[in-house]
Amino acid sequence: MGKPEQRWFKDPDQSPSLHSVTSETPFLSPIMPVLTTEKCTACRRESPLVTEAEVLELKPQIPEWTLMSREKIDRLERVYRFANFAEALSFTNQVGALAEQEGHHPAILTEWGRVTVTLWTHKIRGLHRNDFIMAAKIDSLAP
């Protein structure tokens, strides 16, 4: 039995769509845990993808991250900018150390003056709460 298809990244011209989730999107819950205080949990192939309601609740805590789909896999992505390659590389190493500590590893592209971080949960081929936790923790490392 395969996992059911869960697609909520729609064409921007269609409605409803998560393309409209922004930092101004209101929280759905008046008491929401701060993602940076949470720890990534072990994920299994049967772990659930985040629901649209969960994305709407979690996304405002990481407003600079973009929701996107690549190769039919939903992901979070953010570009961090730096003054030079050395600063970008230092940040990359900090993200790597955090990934090891959390047991959740992003795709990282380090270039002169910028680092692109992409998160998704490989085992479930999509987004899990762990991806939002890591995004918030990575943001806390940024200068």
Neighbours of 122 (CB within 10 A): 13
User: Who wins on pLDDT, 16 or 32?
Assistant: 32
Residue count of the chain, please give it. Answer: 143
Contact call for residues 4 and 32 (beta carbons, < 8 A): no
Architecture of the domain whose range is 49-141: 2-Layer Sandwich (3.30)
Nearest Cα residue to 35 out of 104, 113, 96: 104
Alpha carbons 40 and 7: distance in angstroms, whole number: 23
| pLDDT of 67 higher than 90 | yes
pLDDT 10s digits, 16-26? 334 444 444 44
